[in-house]
Amino acid sequence: MQKLGESKGSVLMVAVAALWSLTSTFDKLGMASAPTLAAYLAVQRLITALPCAAYLLLRDPTAFRCGRAGVYEMV
Amino acid sequence: MPSHSLPNPSPQGTLTAPDVRISQTFLFAASMSAALRILSLLLYQAAIALSPLSVTIPYLSFTPAMLVITAYLLIGERPSPNGLVGVCVVTLGGYLLARSNAHNVAAAKKADADVAGERKDAAATMELGFDVLLTDSTAGAAPVKPRLTGALVRLCLRCASVRNSRAGLDCDLTARRSRRSAACRSWARARAAC
């Protein structure tokens, strides 16, 4: 485990592995109590997307601009 | 004309909303899963930004090993003995892969640093030669013909520009430009030609 501590990215990736193990367990728990598989999928994705969208809206409101002006600005 | 009357809708035929009952466990699990997923995505992006992919990604093979613990603690799920052996093999393989990749990346970085040092030395040597050339051709006892001086300076400038572009150095040639007026004109012509 000596090599593991040398790289900060490796430590973060081990933390990601731990979080993924937790999310998998919560996913199974939620699917067991959900009315349908699609319902759990939709609710989980919705709860994931809403904070991200709110953060982006507060941080950079122009990120939601679309249409011709936005495309021309990107070019 | 016969009249067609619609049949009376029976209670069994009416459309009703599907029975969707959302329990607290369902909402709690979905919320926790979503929150942890957002956090894991942030950490994932930070990890691959900090270290090479070949070093960081194999550590994701630790997931099954941690899943054994979390699944037992949260929902009481126990893996079979064969499953445990498989989890150990996968985790150990991922760890050894990440370790060998980290060793290779460190060796490659050291080799790159050595090559950069050699290039810096070569560029410094070329600059020194350029300096001597300007001094000898302008202030020496035997004057060099302007055409020959221009050709030499042009050649030297090309070599120096190649070396400098490789080593990422910025050799301050304009300071030397003001030393001698004759050399300055030759240098300007050579630079324009280059």
B85 touches chain A (CB under 8 A): no
Asked whether the beta carbons of residue A3 and residue B102 sit closer than 8 angstroms, the reply is: yes
Q: What is the pLDDT of residues B43-96, one digit of tens each?
A: 999 999 999 999 899 999 999 999 999 999 998 999 999 999 999 999 999 999
Q: pTM to 2 decimals?
A: 0.58
* A20, A40, A43 ranked by CB distance to B40: nearest: A20
Cβ atoms < 10 Å from Cβ of B74:
16
Which 3 state secondary structure label does DSSP give B178?
Answer: coil
Q: What is the pLDDT of residues B114-136, one digit of tens each?
A: 777 777 766 666 665 555 555 55
DSSP state letter for B9? P
Asked whether the beta carbons of residue B30 and residue A29 sit closer than 8 angstroms, the reply is: no
Asked whether the beta carbons of residue A9 and residue B56 sit closer than 8 angstroms, the reply is: yes
The pLDDT value given to residue B153: 62
Which residue has 């809708």 as its token pair?
A: B9
Helical H segments across B23-142, by residue range:
24-50, 53-56, 63-75, 81-139
In the predicted structure, residue A63 carries a pLDDT above the cut 70? yes
Nearest-CA distance A68 → chain B (Å): 31
Q: Which two tokens stand for residue B87?
A: 């989890």
Q: What is the dihedral of CA B114, B117, B123, B128, to 10 degrees?
A: -130
Interface confidence (ipTM) of the complex: 0.79
Report d(CA B169, CA B148) in Å as an integer: 27
Q: Which residues contact B130 (CB under 8 A, 6 or more apart)?
A: B153, B156, B157, B160, B173, B176
Q: Which of B33-37, B109-113, B169-173 has the lowest mean pLDDT?
A: B169-173
Asked whether the beta carbons of residue A48 and residue B23 sit closer than 8 angstroms, the reply is: no
Report d(CA A29, CA B174) in Å as an integer: 72
Mean local confidence (pLDDT), A20-42: 92
The pLDDT value given to residue B24: 84
Single-letter residue type at B9 = P
In the predicted structure, residue A60 carries a pLDDT above the cut 70? yes
A56 touches chain B (CB under 8 A): no
More confident residue, A75 or A21: A21
B50 touches chain A (CB under 8 A): yes
Q: What is the pLDDT of residues B156-184, one digit of tens each?
A: 666 655 555 554 444 445 445 455 556 55
Single-letter residue type at B127 = E
The pLDDT value given to residue B104: 83
Asked whether the beta carbons of residue A30 and residue B20 sit closer than 8 angstroms, the reply is: no
The pLDDT value given to residue B33: 94
